[in-house]
Amino acid sequence: MGRPVLLLLICALVVSVFCSSFASAAIVEHTFNVEDVIVNRLCRDRTITTVNGSLPGPTLLVQEGDTVIIHVINNSPYNMTIHWHGITQMMSAWADGPEYVTQCPVVPGNRYTYKFNVTEQEGTLWWHAHISFLRETVHGAIVIRPRAGRTYPFPKPYKEYPLIFGEWWNTNIVDASNEAQAIGVAPVDSDAYTINGQPGDLYNCSSDHTTRFRVIRGKTYLFRIVNAALNSQLFFKIADHKFTVVAVDAAYVNPYVTDVVVIAPGQTADVLLKADQKPGLYYMAARPYLSGPVVPNNSTTTAILAYKGADESSTPKMPVLPVNDTTIAFKFYSELTRLVTSRFWAGVPSKVDEDYFVTIGVGLIACENPGTCQGPFGQRLGASMNNVSLELPSKISLLEAFVQNVDGVFTTDFPKQPPVIFDYTNPNISFDPATMFTSKSTNIIKVKYNSTVQMVLQNQVTLAQESHPMHLHGVNFLVLAQGFGNYNASEDSKKFNLVNPQERNTIAVPTAGWAVIRFRAINPGVWFMHCHLEPHVPWGLATAIIVENGPTPDTSLPPPPSDFPKC
C-alpha cells in the first residue's frame, strides 16, 4: 500500500510543479491599427503614420511565458511590417517582421496577425516598423515582467516609467529618404530629438507639451529606456541624479552606477533612479553622441523630473552633457557585465564552430548612369559587410525561399574573411578607391543548428568614421571584448570575458575599433543582421544568417501561418 501512495504523491508533486510553471502564462492580444494622423510639432502640422493614433505607440505589457497575438491592420498609404525588436522568436521566425527577410509587406488595406511566445526573457524591448523610415513614428515599448511568483533581481521599484527617445523631421522622411536614395546620398538630418514623442523646452513651440515624470522624494523608480532614434546614439543625464543600470536589451547586468547613460539606436536600458534630491524640477536631457570627426550637434531633447511639492513654475536645473566624448561612451559600453545569478544565464560556449571576421563600413557603389548620382565623387553611397552590400529580394522573402527551396534568390557563400586586407582604421587611406567600392548581391550566411558562431566585427573608416550599432535578430549574443584599432587575434583574444560578458541584441561597434560577439544557433530560421542606423540598411550594411533545422520536430521551424503575406 505504501508504494502506490508514494507514487501518487510523486505524481501530484510533478503535476503541481508543471502547472505552477505555466500558471502565469497568458494570451496578450492587441489590435494595431496603422493609420495616418495629423500632429503638431515645432510650430507646424505634419501627417505621420502611427499605431492607434499615438506617438509613441502602445506599450505592450507582458509576463515572461506569455503568448502575444497582434492583429496589424494596415490603413496607412505605405507597405508595412512590424518587428518585435529583441524578442528571440524561438520557433516563430515567421513573426519576426523584417521586410523581404522573413515576410513580404502587409500592403495598404490588408492585415496580418503576428503570434509569438515570450520565452526566457525579462526586461525592456520594443517594437517598430521594419520598412523604409517608418519607424520614425511607428514604434513603442515592450515591457516583460517576471511571471507570477518570481521577482526582479533588485529591489522592487515604487513605479516604472517607459522613456523612449526618438527623432523628428519637419518633412515627410519617407519621401525625403526615397529622394535621397534615388540620387545616392544621405537623407536630411532630423530637426529634433524627442522623449516620449515630445521635443522638450529647448525647441520652438514645444514647452507646453514637454514630457514630465513625477516622483516622490525617497522613492526609487525604474526607467525603461528605449532608443528609437533612426540615426543617433545618445548621451542621457538627469541633473544632480545618478542611475543604477540593472539590465540592457532585456538581459540583467551587475548593478552599474553612473551619472550618464549612453544608448545606441535599437538598444534598451533598465535603470533605477533614487529620488534623493530636494524637491524641485530637474531636466532630463539627451544629446547625440556623434562618434566621427564631425561638427558637434548640440540639439538637445528634454523632459522634466518633477518632485512632489516642487514649484511647478520654477526653471528646471540642466545637467552638463558630454559632447561627442568617445572615452565616456566606451567606458559605459565596455564596463557592463552580465548578472550570472539571473534566471536565464546559460554561460559562454567554449567551442567555436563557425568563426567570422567581418569588416563593416560605408563606401561607394558605382553610379549606373554617370551624371545622375550626387554622392561623393559622383557615385552612390553604399555600405557593406566584408565588401558584400546586401540586396534584398522583392518578390519573395529569404525565409520563404529557404523553406521552399526556391533557387536563384540568394547564395550562402558569404565570405568568412574580408576580400581585401588593409589598415582598416587608418584615416589617411579612407578615400582609397581600392577599398572604397562595393557592389550589391544577396550573399548570406548558413550555419548548422546548435553550432556556436563567433564574429569579430571590425569597423573600418573608409569614407565615414563612425560607430555602427549592429543588431542581430533571433538570438542574443555575448560581447566577449571590444576595443580600438585593428583587431589582433593573438593579443585581443586575451581580453575575452568568458565569465560574465554582457548579453545583447545590439552592439555599438566602437568608432575605428572592433567588437567580438559569440552565440549559439539554436533557433531555426533566417535572421537579419544589420546596422541600426536607418540609412545604412538600404545602402547594404546587412546580411542574413540561416540557421538550419534541428534533428527533432521541436527543433524544426513549423510552416507559415495561413494568412502569411504574399508578395
pLDDT at 139: 98
pLDDT at 294: 55
Q: What percent of the chain has pLDDT over 90?
A: 88
Provide DSSP, 318-379.
Answer: PP---SS-HHHHHHHHHH-BB-TTSTT------S-SEEEEEEEEEEEE--SSTTS--SGGGS
CB under 8 Å to 480, separation ≥6 — which residues? Answer: 348, 454, 496, 497, 498, 501, 516, 517, 518
pLDDT at 515: 98
pLDDT at 518: 98
pLDDT at 295: 52
Is residue 496 over pLDDT 50? yes
292 band by pLDDT with thresholds 50, 70 and 90? low
Q: In this predicted model, what pLDDT tens digit does every residue of 511-520 receive, in sequence order?
A: 999 999 999 9
pLDDT at 16: 38
Mean pLDDT of 2-27: 46
Average pLDDT of the residues of the chain: 93
pLDDT at 25: 82
Mean pLDDT of 342-370: 94
Q: In this predicted model, what pLDDT tens digit does every residue of 315-334 receive, in sequence order?
A: 999 999 998 899 999 999 99
CB under 8 Å to 211, separation ≥6 — which residues? Answer: 195, 196, 197, 198, 200, 303, 304
> And the C-alpha cell for 362?
560605408
Q: In this predicted model, what pLDDT tens digit does every residue of 226-240 receive, in sequence order?
A: 999 999 999 999 999
Mean pLDDT of 268-293: 93
Burial class (CB in 10 A: 0-12, 13-18, 19+), 423: middle
CA distance 262 to 322: 10
Nearest to 383 by CA among 437, 419, 322: 437
Helix H or strand E segment including 41:
strand 27-41
Burial class (CB in 10 A: 0-12, 13-18, 19+), 122: buried
Mean pLDDT of 165-184: 94
Identify which has the larger pLDDT, 218 or 428.
218
Is residue 548 over pLDDT 90? yes
Gyration radius of the chain over CA positions: 24
Mean pLDDT of 46-65: 98
Lowest mean pLDDT among 163-177, 256-270, 283-297: 283-297
CB under 8 Å to 534, separation ≥6 — which residues? Answer: 133, 135, 177, 230, 231, 265
> And the C-alpha cell for 56?
509613441
51 band by pLDDT with thresholds 50, 70 and 90? very high
Question: How many residues belong to the chain?
Answer: 567
Is residue 495 over pLDDT 60? yes
Mean pLDDT of 52-75: 98
Mean pLDDT of 458-467: 89
